[in-house]
Amino acid sequence: MSIDPEIDPIESEDDLFEHYNFIVDKGQQLLRIDKYLLLKIANSSRSKIQTGIEAGAVKVNDQLIKSNYKVKPFDEISVSFSTPPRDNEVIPENLPLNIVYEDSDLIIINKEPGMVVHPAHGNWTGTLVNGLLYYCQNLPGNNNIRPGLVHRIDKDTSGLLVIAKTEFAITYLAKQFFDHTIERTYYAILWGVPKVEKGTLRGNITRHPKDRKIMHMLPEDSEDGKLAITHYEVIESFGFCSFVKFNLETGRTHQIRAHAQSMGHPLVSDSSYGGDKIRFMSTRTNFKQFVDNMFKVCPRQALHAYSLGFDHPTTNERMQFESQFPEDFDNLLNKLRKFTND
């Protein structure tokens, strides 16, 4: 069975790195931690381990350490690294990239809707990663299918992505995603208006038992799935639709899309979660015609990754980036405002 690129197992932003926990055996002799971890972690290298230690991705007994630290019996070691290489060749392609910022450590890209972020089974060309490899040949992890990637967004979601240009940067940024210190704001257009204008959505998210291409929300105390936390605020109400801001605390697969559906307010035009048909009615006589036009104006889920905030890998300066709405999203929003006010 092939794997849809939109449901690649590593799609969750929080899964774009490894996480290990070790408790040192009682008979372990003193040994430098970089050498110890080299023996413990497959597909790794001493330079990658040392870079991870420098970036704060390795702790012993919940304390940051240096590469020359010597492990001793019963030490508790936690590790967060960027993902290991995979043996798949990705061909560089000269593709248009909307680069909004770049320095020696990272690139900020405003991704257009319709572009897949990284290659996967059945989808090896035309992705953002193919374009990145043409533009920047020395991204960390050039021998895998996700060089430079710290997180991702869905094919039909537009907006900002941060790309790491060095091994230190990818580890440093991945650690911020793991610690949930990255600020991510999305804007969406939903069917209907949530009864509570501002709140937090919590629950475990997992693959839907009947449709593996979509996600399914479960109670937070469920034994299945991973905890997903989303904060939301209704910015503007149109009665049958609403303009809503989302802030991600975790970065699970389809998190906003699944959380919106769980509220009974799927994203407009989100065919996977029931947003491609009328979900809330209006008394206007030309309503159905207007909805058909909505779907033509924005034929993909109405979701945009608007802003990113994080600490710079080298300067530690807090970086903040915002992006304009793409044309289809902006046109849909303006049409809703005009239809409501006429």
Read off the pTM: 0.80
Residue 201 confidence (pLDDT): 97
Residue 52 confidence (pLDDT): 84
Tokens of 23: 């408790």
Contacts (Cβ under 8 Å, ≥6 apart) of 100: 108, 109, 110, 160, 321, 323
Phi-psi region of 204 (alpha: psi -120 to 50; beta: other; left: phi over 0): beta
Residues 89, 78: Cα–Cα separation, whole Å: 31
Residue 143 confidence (pLDDT): 61
Residues 131, 136: Cα–Cα separation, whole Å: 9
Residue 39 confidence (pLDDT): 84
User: What sign has the CA pseudo-torsion 21, 23, 28, 34?
Assistant: positive
Alpha helices in the chain (DSSP H): 33-40, 46-54, 128-135, 167-178, 255-262, 287-297, 327-341
Question: Exactly one of 8, 15, 75, 154 is catalytic; which is it?
Answer: 154
Q: Could you list the pLDDT tens digit for every one of the 342 residues in the chain? A: 233 333 333 345 555 566 788 899 888 889 999 989 888 886 677 887 888 888 888 999 989 899 899 999 999 998 877 654 444 578 899 999 999 999 999 999 999 999 999 887 666 788 999 999 999 988 887 567 788 998 989 999 999 999 999 989 998 998 898 888 999 999 999 999 999 999 999 999 998 888 878 999 999 999 889 999 999 999 999 999 999 999 999 989 899 999 999 999 999 999 999 999 999 998 888 999 999 999 999 999 999 999 999 999 999 999 999 999 999 999 999 999 999 987
Straight-line distance from the first to the last Cα atom of the chain, in angstroms, rounded to the nearest whole number:
51
Residues 107, 160: Cα–Cα separation, whole Å: 10
Cα–chain-centroid distance for residue 290?
A: 32
CA distances (Å), origin 10, targets 35, 86, 247: 28, 12, 21
Residues 322, 189: Cα–Cα separation, whole Å: 18
Residues 265, 242: Cα–Cα separation, whole Å: 9
Tokens of 141: 């992890």
Active site residue 4: no
Q: State the DSSP string of 121-163.
A: TTB-SSSHHHHHHHH-TT-TTTTSSSTTBS----TT-EEEEEE
Of how many residues is the chain composed?
Answer: 342
Residues 342, 338: Cα–Cα separation, whole Å: 6
168-171 contact pairs (CB < 8 A, 24+): 168/51, 168/54, 168/55, 168/105, 168/313, 169/105, 169/106, 169/140, 169/313, 169/314, 170/82, 170/140, 170/141, 171/17, 171/51, 171/52, 171/55, 171/57, 171/80, 171/81, 171/82
Tokens of 121: 């089974």
Residues 153, 188: Cα–Cα separation, whole Å: 14
What letter would DSSP give residue 116? -
Cα–chain-centroid distance for residue 60?
A: 28
CA distances (Å), origin 94, targets 103, 111, 132, 293, 316: 20, 15, 9, 34, 32
Residues 314, 8: Cα–Cα separation, whole Å: 31
Query: Cβ distance 57 to 72 under 8 Å?
Result: no
